[in-house]
């Protein structure tokens, strides 16, 4: 029997970011670091804040940008959660998945997807470390916004 996985909305991360810092150019590659300065986490499964101090390393080759962000979340109950979020951004994708109800998920014509992985030993949040997530990301008003879905 084949089971097709489904996605369930868990929460949205709104990470405030500072201007990107140029690191260097390689042969056909541009590398940058974008500091994360704060933000919020809101949704049916998790609420809290994004702690300042993390960041996003990006390597752009041609039109594809490979991303790896690492930062901390503090849940409303005080628990600290580590997140490593890897993904890709590029222009020129199908725009049929831009909205989830009234919520904009992506910019028209862009692909911005991530695979967040969480670590914590807080008993109330162990489910984060035991679950596979998919993130649908977008830029919005000085924030990187990631709607996180569990893979069921």
Helix/strand/coil (H, E, C) string of 97-152?
CCEECCEECCCCCEEEEEEEEEECCCHHHHHHHCCCEEEEEEEECCEEEEEEEEEC
56-70, 82-96, 100-114: range with lowest mean pLDDT: 100-114
Domain that holds residue 64: 7-151
Residue 142's pLDDT band, with cuts at 50, 70 and 90, is confident
| Residue 106 in domain | yes
Which of residues 28 and 74 earns the better pLDDT score?
Answer: 74
Say how far apart CA 123 and CA 95 lie, in whole Å: 39
When comparing pLDDT for 110 and 51, which is higher?
51
Say what the pLDDT of residue 95 is.
45
The tally of CA atoms less than 13 A away on the side-chain side of residue 9 is: 14
CA distance 119 to 84: 9
- Rounded mean pLDDT, 62-67: 90
- Collapsing DSSP to helix, strand or coil, 93 comes out as coil
CA neighbor of 10 nearest in space, from 127, 144, 143, 123: 127
Residues of the chain with pLDDT > 90: what percent?
74
Say if 23 falls within a structural domain.
Answer: yes
Inside any domain, residue 47: yes
Residue 103, pLDDT above cutoff 60: no
Please enumerate in sequence order all residues whose Cβ is within 8 A of that of 103, keeping only pairs 6 or more positions apart, or say none. 147
* Residues in a beta bridge with 20: none
Is residue 99 domain-resident? Answer: yes
Give the distance from CA 68 to its chain's centroid: 9
Q: Would you say residue 2 lies in a domain?
A: no
Q: How many helices (H) and strands (E) does the chain have?
A: 1, 12
Q: 56 in a domain, yes or no?
A: yes
**What b/e readout covers 90-107, taking b as 16+ CB neighbours within 10 angstroms?**
beebeeeebeeeeeeebb
What is the pTM for the complete model shown? 0.87
10-14, 19-23, 75-79, 92-96: which range is least confident on average? 92-96
**In this predicted model, which residue has the larger pLDDT, 141 or 43?**
43
With 90 as the cut, is the pLDDT of residue 90 above it?
A: no
Q: 116: domain CATH number?
A: 2.40.160.20
How many structural domains does the chain have?
Answer: 1
Three-state secondary structure call for residue 63: coil
Q: How confident is the model at residue 92 (pLDDT cuts 50, 70, 90)?
A: low
Q: What pLDDT, in 10s, does the model give residues 1-55?
A: 888 999 999 999 999 999 999 998 878 888 999 999 999 999 999 999 999 999 9
Residue 45 per-residue DSSP state:
S
């Amino acid at each position: 029997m084949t089971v097709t996985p489904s996605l369930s909305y868990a929460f949205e991360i709104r990470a405030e970011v500072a201007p990107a810092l140029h690191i260097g150019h390689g042969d056909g590659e541009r590398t940058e670091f974008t500091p994360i300065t704060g933000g919020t986490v809101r949704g049916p499964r998790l609420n809290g804040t994004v702690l300042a101090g993390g960041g996003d390393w990006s390597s752009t080759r041609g039109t594809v940008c490979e991303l790896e962000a690492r930062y901390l979340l503090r849940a409303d109950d005080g628990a600290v959660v580590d997140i490593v979020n890897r993904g890709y951004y590029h222009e020129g994708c199908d725009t049929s998945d831009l909205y989830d109800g009234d919520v904009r998920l992506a910019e028209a014509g862009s692909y911005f997807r991530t695979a967040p992985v969480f670590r914590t030993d807080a008993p109330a949040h162990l489910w984060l470390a035991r679950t596979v997530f998919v993130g649908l990301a977008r830029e919005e008003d000085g924030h990187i916004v990631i709607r996180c879905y569990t893979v069921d």
